[in-house]
Amino acid sequence: MTQFDAAVAAVEAAIAAGARYADARVMHRRTESMSARNGDIEELEQNEDAGVGVRALVGSGWGFYAVPDMSDAAARAAGERAAAIAAASATVAGKAVDLVGSTPATASWASTCEVDPLSVPLSDKGDLLVRVTGDMHRAGGDQSTALYRIWDTHKWFVSSEGHRIDQHVRECGGGISTTVIGDGETQRRSYPSYRGQYGTRGWELINELDIAAHGERVVDEARALLTAPLCPSGETTLIVGGEQMALQIHESVGHAIELDRILGWEAAYAGTSWLDLTQLGSLRYGSDLMNIVIDPRIPGALGSFGYDDEGTAAAPRDAVRGGIWVGVLAGRDSASAAGLDYAGSVRADGWARLPMVRMTNVGLEPGPHTLEEMVAATDDGIMMDFNRSWSIDDRRLNFQFGCEIGWEIKGGKRGRMLRNPTYTGIGPKFWQSMDMLSSESLPWGTPNCGKGQPGQVGHTGHPSAPARFANVRVGVRS
């Protein structure tokens, strides 16, 4: 029995049990992660999971059931359970659910991968982490860590409309970080970011990062931060570095344009959105420099795929064009509820979770400037980069970010380091103050996006570049 056979059996059983639509995903996923601290391996984990998840639509209610068993009998039983669960939803029913069209495809897709990360010997991978963290610890990094993570996922998707799609996605990434302990506080520096950089790529991504070459600098910066002056409090011109910009996009744009949030489907937990669908196409989100694109096709970016978990082919779409809000992240049911005609942004965290609206690659198109030009054009301001903390309200408006490092900018030059830099603002006001944007774009990967109940972890990509913002409140502290 093939994986497709199991998916077909599950879908057939759900339809036979009364579903008017059903789909099934068989998934097999292997993961591996390793971390080291101060020259010793701290954790080596290898995981494998596999199963079938069935989604059934009965009336206006969805039902979902998943089992870690791909036998014909188990798959059929799962389909029947999904339909029965959907029927129970009728106790508290609402408007009928419709799905926007999705061309039934028979297709295969695989991410590109030069070096299979699971084939690299554990000893080589371990030696790298041990050596780098040992060197960093000896250089003065009190708690110096390095990690990598690998995901190797096969999916087989079948729907009652005729989809039959298999995909093989390999994801990989990692990084280094050090924490130094001062008198009553800690300082942290990381490379290329706290959790590392990730993509739908192979071990070549880790090789390109060359983490060993950055350990000593990271430690030196962390130690220097212990005695650096505090980030001043007040309003100033702020230059946000590319790594922090990726999170700024993720939190204050990516989540805000999720259609399930806009429709109130996530109101109780993840929250809603400040965006109102009646303003789609006319609302000013940011300055003219702000162009946000949803694009799951970017080679190597973490949010890339061939088809989403509803079988919709990957396609680019504008979310913000010239500062005007023009698009959303949608699924087939949410798009129908909103009167839109496109989907393509639905994914699930494994076979045992219900697919839901998730970011793919949501990125800022590059601008006309360089970081050097932005600094030179700033008479008095602060630059911050490398996220240390993040918090935003349930409508995705009021945010506060802390960064690992800041720099004073005076007279067009980057000067002394500043410790504990933070900035806060209101999303549209902040984005409308963006007056310079760099062309130096990178597709940052975020492997830890939480959403949904039961909780799901999503992998998202965010092309971003340094940008400058006017009159930003900085230096918030306890």
Partner 1 sequence: MSELDFAGRIVEMVKAAVPDADTEVSVDTTALALTRFANSMIHQNVADETTTVRLVTHLDGRTVASTTTVTSDEALGSFVARTVDAVRIAPLDPGWPGLTPAAALATSGTADESVVNATPADRAARIRAFVDAAGGLTTAGYCRTRHTHAAFANSAGHAVAGSTAEIAMDGIARTGSSDGSARAASAFLSDVDGAILGARAAAKARAGDGAVELSPGRYEVVLEQTAVADMLQALAMFGFNGKGVNERQSFLEAGAQQMDAAITFVDDAISPGMIGLPFDTEGTPKQITTVVDAGRTVGPVQDRRTAAQAGTQSTGNAIAMAFGAFALNLSLRPADGDSVTEADGPAADSSVAALVARMSHGILVTDHWYTRVLDPRTLVMTGLTRNGAWLVENGEIISPVRNFRFTQSYPQALGPSSVIAVGTHAIAVPNNYSQASFRCPALHLASWNFTGGASG
Q: How far is the CB of 404 from partner 1 (least distance, A)?
A: 11
Residue closer to partner 1 by CB (options 186, 279) is 186
**Smallest separation (angstroms) from partner 1 to the CB of 13:** 15
State phi, psi for 141 to the nearest 5 degrees. Answer: -85, 105
Q: How far is the CB of 304 from partner 1 (least distance, A)?
A: 26
- Residue pair 225/189 in contact (Cβ under 8 Å)? The answer is yes
DSSP string across 98-123: --------EEEEE---SS-GGGS-HH
Q: How many residues does the chain have?
A: 478
* Peptide linkage before 454 cis (omega within 30 of 0): yes
Minimum distance between the CB of residue 142 and partner 1, rounded to whole angstroms?
A: 7
**178 vs 441 by CB, closer to partner 1:** 178
Question: 135 burial class (0-12, 13-18, 19+ CB within 10 angstroms)?
Answer: middle
**In a 10 Å sphere around its CB, with 0-12 CB exposed, 13-18 middle and 19+ buried, how is residue 373 labelled?**
middle
**From the CB of 234, what's the least distance to partner 1, in Å?**
13
Only one residue has tokens 């344009």, namely 257
Q: How far is the CB of 434 from partner 1 (least distance, A)?
A: 16
Residue among 16 and 90 whose Cβ is closer to partner 1: 90
Amino acid code (one letter) for 309: D
Q: How far apart are CA 306 and CA 200, in angstroms?
A: 12
Cβ nearer to partner 1, comparing 86 with 374: 86
The rounded distance, in Å, linking the Cα atoms of 197 and 173 is 5
Considering beta carbons, is residue 131 or 317 the nearer one to partner 1?
131
Q: Which is nearer to partner 1, 18 or 104 (CB)?
A: 18
The answer to whether 237 and 378 are in contact (CB under 8 A) is yes
* Pick 143 or 370: Cβ nearer partner 1: 143
Shortest CB 35 distance to partner 1, Å: 5
